[in-house]
Structure 1
Amino acid sequence: MQINNLTHDPSTRIGIVGAGCAGLTAAEELRDLGYKNLTIIDTKNRVGGKTYSIRYGDTTPQSRGIYEGGTVWILPSPLYKKYKKRYGISPNYRLMPPVQVFDLATGRVSSPFLIKSKSSLLSRLRQLKTFFQELGKYTRYDDPGYLNPIYRAMNESSPQWFAKQDLDFIREALIPIANAAQFGHLEENISIAYVIRLLALLNRCSLPKKLLLNMPQLQEGNQDLWNRIGATHNLCLGQTIKRFSRGKKILLETFSNQWEFDHLIWTAPVDEFLRVADASPEESDIFSRVREIKRAVITCRVEGLTPGIFYCVKNTANNPLPPSYPLAIYEVDRGSKIYNFYPFMDETTTVEELKNNVVDLVKRLGGTEVKLLGEPLIWKWFSHFSSQDLENGIYERLEMLQGCDNTYFSNELTAGVSVPYGMEYAADLVQRFFSQKQSSAVKMKTSQELYVMEQT
């Protein structure tokens, strides 16, 4: 494995594997730097990755007529602002219903910050102030992914960290939402780095949005921005990669085409990389350590539920839920009677089990008839490393891979689960490795300097 110096040549042939938010952002930023020979390859027949907007009805002044089969909401990013303006996306957002917590044991529904707790009002206010100040350390737009060495030290479990910081009420209030969005049943066992990085997205919001948690969606659907971006690039969709090899050039072969590239940016999941690539021992070791969970999105027409709800389900030690139980439910358009449900899965979960658990939750909420609008959409979710790997510097090792054999990685693993994080990491990677000058956006050591720091 070797690192090749990149000269800024507009005719350089750059392949991008993955037409999701990271891949399309990389393409946009490369084109802004003057690169003209870009090819984006994806196994799916659509762009957008985990943004997947599905139409169920007509658009009206009250209804988008869309449900999100992937990423639920969007959160602020300077790149979103730039791309929305560039591609004529409506400047107005559609605000989702405020998030509330549904306590499965008691049937109580409340705002996250008004849940029943042993903490006094004064203690709650103190914890809120302390926590949002703490999140400020992790909210910088110019600090993408897990490059900051601060994350390496954040390897204790989430319950330990919240207890040590005397933030028990904050954990009670926000972990049901964090689990529904990302962690499922894993939160008690993963590094606090992942939990804090997710919750740091809240600090991008105004104070009312932090407290009410009524998050925005694009009026046209979250995927539409990526449809518009993709339409301006050289897309090769429906292309399953058979193999690729790296020498003086990168040779990539699908079952129907083959390409030759000077550089390759891999934005697809890394288990797919290991399946098709001439992986080095270091790549194989790092990527074989990656852990994942599966998340399902189940869309149903439901009778009898309160309109305009967005509930996250509180799971308690006294009333544990199976991994396949929905952790969130919301009505996609108020009055539509179309609801999305969000369970996670383990290796034993069946689709029938997912459906039965949806029906059970509907009954607990007072609903009656449930009709699925299609089979569950199942996603690979939350790529992460163990606490021990984090402590041992796995992200520093991953950073050392960038540029080796003219290959670069920008995906959920490097950036974190969130569209803005994926965009920002991809844009930063392009600036660091493909621009004529070092990125001014991120004040960090180069890969080589990180390596020296590790050895000393």
Structure 2
Amino acid sequence: MEINHSVRIGIVGAACAGLTAAEELRDLGYQHITLIDAKNRAGGKTYSIPYAHRTKQTRGIYEGGTVWVLPSPLYKKYKKRYGISASQHIMPPVQVFDLSSGKISSPFLVQSQYSVVSRIKQVVKFFGKLKKYTRYDDPGYINTAYREMSEFSPQWFANNDLGFIREALIPIANAAQFGHIEEDVATAYVIKLLALLNRCDLPKKLLLNMPQLQEGNQELWNRIAANHDVRLGQTITRVTRSQTILVETTSQQWEFDHLIWTAPVEEFLSLADASPEERDIFSQVRTIKRAVITCKVEGLPSNIFYCVRNTSQQPLPASYPLAMYEVDPGSKIYSFYPFMDETTTVEELENSVLDLVKRLGGSQVEFLTKPLIWKWFAHFSPQNLREGIYERLDMLQGCQNTYFANELTAGVSVPYGIEYAADIVQRFFPPQASSIGKMLQKQELSTASNQLARH
């Protein structure tokens, strides 16, 4: 079956999932692909910000969005294709800081009632359980095992006699994704996040010293975007679907045959002619807010990555940082990661950072920018999961030639997002590329490689 190369595909969102969809479609021979994004940059939640000139010792940037780069076959393919350095910047090992005692320790050495033997047994048991959730060919939450994990997270860990694992890893999970609401979310989300650890070798699982791209986590996506038709700074005002799909912005309009929506689904509801089923599903989505605050601080230890212990016995304000690390060893530049509720102010965020710095013995805090605030962790309630909402969402894929691929469908983290987007392309777009399409693809990639070499 030959592809109709006149097919016009629109992708809303030029972040990692949208750019992956574009890249995979082009590999199949599609030529008329347009990405539309309201931001003035590509990359979405990968956002690398320079603070100094790069040296042999330092990258000179901090990550305003996604912190770690975790393994994915797509990452490997794209890094090679676009000339990203094979060597990576390895971050400091994660340690847990207990505010009440002032103690700092490795996650698997935190103070606990469990014996060493019990700890080891739980670690082995837990990583064994994670194997069934670590398949690269099973993106999203359609696996029936997730529907069966709709109980609250503390209950699941207790039922599986994994109390120590909860003590060791939930501070990291909260810092990465859940903030102060982890005890109220379905276990499926917690397990899917922690399953990323099974993509790492044993030392990384235990030390949690994860990599970043030397050029910055955003640079890969900048290079991919440079080879596609990406329209930045375009605020969509309306999406109308009939025989074709009309996307209107404040300054332009496009007509497409297919639309891949990788932006938040809440925006789809406000802009598109959503069906009753789309409205019913997407109106039940919940989100939280996460902030990134980057400062220059005197007096703190160098080359550190701390997660702050946050439990029901030791609750912290929503505005309190749950993680912080030095962006380059010896730079004295630290990023802090608090979450927010509806009443949290910027002043509260900054005061919480000052309190944590003081507890760690630091001083002279200089805020480099205002907090970067992200809408984070799109999810459904445990009851929604029990009732099969992800199965309903999957049934929407392809209706009115519209497809959804974002963190709600895939899970929070770049690997999940790009793998889900690639899966959508594989499922719904013909895989056969004509010989002309393959030839064009090789020519384009050769040209891109030559351009990168000159730079």
TM (normalized to structure 2)?
0.94
CA–CA distance in structure 2, aligned partners of residues 158 and 316 of structure 1: 12
Partner of 2:6: helix, strand, or coil?
A: coil
Task: Tell me which residue corresponds to 1:255.
Answer: 250
Which string of whole-angstrom CA distances, capped at 9 and with x for unpartnered residues, describes residues 288-334 of structure 1?
00000000000000011000110000023343211110000000001
Alignment of 1:252-401 (within 5 A): 252-401=247-396
Which of 385, 401, 412 pairs up with 1:406? 401
CA–CA distance in structure 1, aligned partners of residues 29 and 281 of structure 2: 33
Which string of whole-angstrom CA distances, capped at 9 and with x for unpartnered residues, describes residues 368-389 of structure 1?
1101000000001000000000
CA–CA distance in structure 2, aligned partners of residues 427 and 328 of structure 1: 31
Say whether 1:10 aligns with 2:12.
no
Give aligned-pair identity as a percent: 74
Alignment of 1:49-448 (within 5 A): 49-436=44-431
Say whether 1:25 aligns with 2:23.
no
| 1:7, distance to aligned residue in structure 2 (A) | 8.2
Partner of 2:399: helix, strand, or coil?
A: coil
Q: What amino acid is aligned across from residue 247 of structure 2 in structure 1?
A: L
Asked if the contact 1:21/1:419 (under 8 Å) is kept, the reply is yes
Partner of 1:369: helix, strand, or coil?
A: strand
Q: How many residues align?
A: 432
Q: What amino acid is aligned across from residue 363 of structure 2 in structure 1?
A: T
Which string of whole-angstrom CA distances, capped at 9 and with x for unpartnered residues, describes residues 173-193 of structure 1?
000000000000111010000
CA–CA distance in structure 2, aligned partners of residues 21 and 147 of structure 1: 21
Asked if the contact 1:41/1:237 (under 8 Å) is kept, the reply is yes
Which string of whole-angstrom CA distances, capped at 9 and with x for unpartnered residues, describes residues 23-43 of structure 1?
000000000000000000000
Which string of whole-angstrom CA distances, capped at 9 and with x for unpartnered residues, describes residues 392-433 of structure 1?
000000001000001000000000000000010000100000
Partner of 1:48: helix, strand, or coil?
A: coil
CA–CA distance in structure 2, aligned partners of residues 347 and 436 of structure 1: 45
Which string of whole-angstrom CA distances, capped at 9 and with x for unpartnered residues, describes residues 243-282 of structure 1?
0100001011000000000000000001110110000000
Task: Tell me which residue corresponds to 1:47.
Answer: 42
Asked if the contact 1:8/1:434 (under 8 Å) is kept, the reply is no
Partner of 1:256: helix, strand, or coil?
A: coil
Q: What amino acid is aligned across from residue 390 of structure 2 in structure 1?
A: Y
Partner of 2:248: helix, strand, or coil?
A: strand
CA–CA distance in structure 2, aligned partners of residues 367 and 74 of structure 1: 29
Task: Tell me which residue corresponds to 1:449.
Answer: none
CA–CA distance in structure 2, aligned partners of residues 8 and 130 of structure 1: 48
Q: Which runs of 5+ in 1 are unaligned?
A: 1-5, 438-456
CA–CA distance in structure 2, aligned partners of residues 393 and 181 of structure 1: 26
Task: Tell me which residue corresponds to 2:452.
Answer: none
CA–CA distance in structure 2, aligned partners of residues 257 and 17 of structure 1: 14
Which string of whole-angstrom CA distances, capped at 9 and with x for unpartnered residues, describes residues 215-263 of structure 1?
0000000000000000000010000000010000101100000000000
Q: What amino acid is aligned across from residue 432 of structure 1 in structure 2?
A: R
Runs (4+) of structure 1 moved beyond 2 Å? 316-319
CA–CA distance in structure 1, aligned partners of residues 124 and 88 of structure 2: 28
Q: CA RMSD in A?
A: 1.0
